[in-house]
């Protein structure tokens, strides 16, 4: 763990580039909720109500925030003058850093918050811009001298003003303090002078920002839309949305975006390439807890397998790579029927999931038909789309016992804490269900029970390390199991991920953690898959290409626009549009999947077919005559 109190600026930059960093929530609305009117000078409370400010910081740190922002958003000379405190710029900013550092301790970085002056630059008299520059320089110098790990410029809507603030921030401490430049776009997606996110991102990079981002705005969805258009310069990205737009409730301002909704978008933001996510106006410690959970899901964590981290660090994994006494580690080729087939023949896997309710009859019937059609293994998802269904272990067991095909059981970290997960895995191993697909899992907000609580004690990387340790004879605490498990571990990959480099890096971590098979998300563009196959070839891990036959034009549009990591080329969507609905559309979707499979079958170890809406016969139509 980084010693935050003595952290160097390059420590912060390294943590930011590593990704999965969580900023704190709203200071202003937290103070408001404690009975302070918005007309008060919140920044002066660093002096007059230091205990209240410190406690708010502590609440966010306890919630899991790894970056604490100082209560100095409006602590520049221009804004403080409205309350008569323009002579206390350095005192208020220094106090803000001291209080944040006291709360952060060794657990979090401290970022000095700098907001706009509130002036309209176009309306200023000639020469007044120099006063604005001096105001920013005075505040940034004070924050840098007080020892912040970074400066964060927030809620700027006028690019010209942000340029002045950025110049002042870079000049502080001779440019040794990293600077994050965040913009707030209007509902139309532009700044006050009409500039779109793509142009703003290039400007901020040219002006020397260490990282760029979006904060405040209309809420998580708006911030997501804007941030995903700012990748081009290649700088680290920071997303800090409001909890939606405020509404008047019983005479008070209230923000309506729930913590669960925040978790959904935090996950999307991390998956789309955000290096850090936090909360702006209206966000509470409960919102930050959900962002922390999302970081564990998508970006991994920062500690060994415990509830405060997202998975074992690689250095810890290397140290624990020993084998328990008397244990022989089983190689992939010796792990049952699936392990024997990998690399020896083209393996076909088809997904069959437990239906809602009590009966498994239809699922077993589908599995039998697939076996008759030559399918090698049946995938069984773990509560897909966060729906309430029978546990997949029961279906896996019955498929193996009654159908005679190996099952490939999905395991997510969503629903079980670490102890429950180990119990589930050991039970599966005892029952002979030993082929696993390790994934993080869809958050409950996506399903029919949005108030269900997600656990996410670890993410997919941490789970793979846990399983790898069990395969060497150790439990998560490092104690011998009295034997070793023989799990075959598969993992997922998104060839079309928005932040492709991040996806590759996580895939490398997964393989280092023990993944023996890679299964891709559905792919509709051979060029996209070709890129990933070339890039992961050095990993030496077999790949099953994901195929999801499109059912209709509507289905294609949904996958392209609504599912992260999925991309359906315009030409494919146009083919589906021309095909029309019903059987004609399904046949066209199958033809597209067959073309994709024929294009890449000689470069992959097999195919992973996900028939739409549980129509297993469509999977057989995809593989007919191509792999048999």
Same CATH fold assignment for domains 4-299 and 314-623? yes
- Give pLDDT, residue 193: 92
Query: How far is 591 from 265, CA to CA, in rounded Å?
Result: 34
The Cβ of residue 341 has, within 10 Å, a number of other Cβ atoms equal to 18
Average pLDDT over residues 76-88: 96
pLDDT digits (tens, 9 = 90+) for 263-291: 888 988 998 899 999 999 889 999 999 89
Query: How far is 330 from 339, CA to CA, in rounded Å?
Result: 11
What CATH number has the domain spanning 4-299? 3.20.20.330
Mean pLDDT, the chain, whole residue set: 87
pLDDT band at 4 (very low <50, low <70, confident <90, very high): very low
Tokens for 189? 């997606």
pTM above threshold 0.75: no
Beta bridge partners of 474: 480
Average pLDDT over residues 220-235: 92
- β-strands 252-255, 246-249: how paired? antiparallel
Query: How far is 476 from 463, CA to CA, in rounded Å?
Result: 10
Closest CA to 21 of 224, 310, 318: 310
pLDDT digits (tens, 9 = 90+) for 455-493: 777 788 889 999 999 999 998 878 899 999 999 999 999
Least confident range from 103-117, 253-267, 304-318, 484-498: namely 304-318
- Give pLDDT, residue 3: 41
pLDDT digits (tens, 9 = 90+) for 96-139: 999 999 999 989 999 999 999 999 988 888 788 999 999 999 99
Q: Where are the strands (E) in 374-462, listed by range? A: 377-380, 407-411, 435-438
Whether the CB-CB separation of 209 and 235 falls below 8 Å is answered with yes
Return the percentage of the chain with pLDDT > 70, whole number: 88
Whether the CB-CB separation of 184 and 211 falls below 8 Å is answered with no
What CATH number has the domain spanning 314-623? 3.20.20.220
Whether the CB-CB separation of 560 and 571 falls below 8 Å is answered with no
Kindly list the domain boundaries of the chain, sorted by start residue: 4-299, 314-623
C-alpha angle 208/211/217, rounded to 5°? 115
């Amino acid at each position: 763990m980084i010693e935050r109190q003595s952290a160097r600026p390059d420590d912060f930059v390294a943590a930011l580039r590593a990704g999965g960093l969580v900023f704190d929530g709203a200071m202003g609305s937290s103070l408001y909720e404690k009975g302070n009117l918005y007309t008060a000078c919140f920044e002066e409370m660093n002096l007059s109500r230091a205990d209240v400010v410190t406690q708010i910081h502590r609440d966010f740190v306890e919630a899991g925030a790894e970056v604490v922002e100082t209560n100095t958003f409006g602590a520049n000379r221009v804004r403080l003058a409205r309350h008569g405190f323009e002579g206390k710029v350095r005192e208020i900013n220094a106090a803000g850093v001291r209080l944040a550092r006291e709360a952060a301790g060794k657990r979090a970085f401290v970022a000095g918050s700098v907001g706009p002056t509130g002036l309209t630059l176009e309306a200023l008299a000639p020469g007044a811009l120099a006063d604005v520059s001096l105001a920013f320089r005075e505040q940034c110098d004070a924050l840098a001298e007080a020892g912040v790990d970074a400066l964060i410029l927030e809620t700027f809507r006028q690019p010209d003003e942000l340029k002045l603030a950025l110049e002042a921030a870079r000049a502080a401490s001779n440019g040794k303090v990293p600077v994050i430049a965040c913009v707030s776009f209007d509902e139309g997606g532009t700044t006050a002078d009409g500039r779109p996110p793509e142009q703003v991102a290039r400007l901020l990079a040219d002006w020397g920002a260490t990282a760029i981002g979006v904060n405040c705005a209309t809420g998580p969805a708006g911030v997501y839309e804007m941030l995903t258009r700012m990748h081009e310069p290649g700088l680290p990205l920071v997303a800090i949305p409001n909890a939606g737009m405020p509404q008047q409730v019983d005479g008070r301002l209230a923000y309506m975006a729930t913590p669960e909704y925040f978790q959904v978008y935090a996950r999307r933001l991390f998956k789309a390439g955000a290096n850090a996510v936090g909360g702006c106006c209206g966000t509470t410690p409960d919102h930050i807890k959900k962002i922390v959970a999302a970081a564990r899901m998508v970006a991994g964590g920062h500690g060994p397998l415990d509830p405060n981290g997202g998975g074992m660090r690689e250095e810890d994994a290397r140290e624990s790579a020993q084998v328990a006494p008397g244990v022989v580690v089983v190689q992939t080729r010796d792990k049952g029927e699936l392990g024997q087939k990998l690399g020896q023949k083209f393996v076909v896997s088809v997904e069959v999931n437990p239906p809602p309710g009590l009966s498994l009859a239809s699922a077993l019937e589908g599995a039998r038909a697939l076996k008759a059609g030559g399918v090698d293994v049946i995938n069984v998802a773990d509560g897909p789309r966060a729906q309430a269904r029978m546990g997949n272990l029961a279906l896996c067991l019955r498929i193996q016992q009654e159908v005679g095909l190996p099952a490939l059981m999905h395991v997510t970290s969503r629903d079980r804490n670490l102890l429950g997960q180990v119990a589930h895995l050991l039970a599966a191993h005892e029952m002979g269900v030993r082929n696993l697909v390790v994934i993080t899992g869809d958050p409950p907000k996506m399903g029919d029970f949005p108030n269900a609580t997600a656990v996410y004690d670890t993410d997919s990387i941490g789970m793979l390390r846990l399983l790898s340790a069990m395969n060497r004879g150790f439990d998560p605490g490092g104690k011998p199991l009295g034997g070793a498990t023989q799990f075959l571990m598969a993992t997922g990959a998104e060839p079309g991920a928005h932040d492709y480099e991040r996806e590759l890096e996580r895939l490398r971590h997964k393989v280092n953690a023990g993944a023996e098979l890679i299964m891709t998300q559905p792919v509709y563009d051979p060029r996209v898959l070709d890129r990933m196959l070339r890039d992961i070839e050095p990993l030496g891990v077999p790949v099953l290409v994901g195929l999801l036959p499109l059912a209709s034009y509507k289905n294609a549009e949904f996958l392209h626009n609504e599912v992260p990591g999925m991309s359906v080329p315009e030409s494919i969507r146009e083919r589906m549009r021309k095909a029309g609905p019903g059987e004609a559309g399904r046949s066209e979707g199958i033809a597209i999947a067959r073309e994709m499979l024929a294009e890449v079958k000689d470069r992959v170890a097999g195919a992973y077919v996900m028939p739409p809406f549980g129509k297993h016969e469509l999977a057989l139509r995809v593989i007919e005559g191509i792999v048999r």
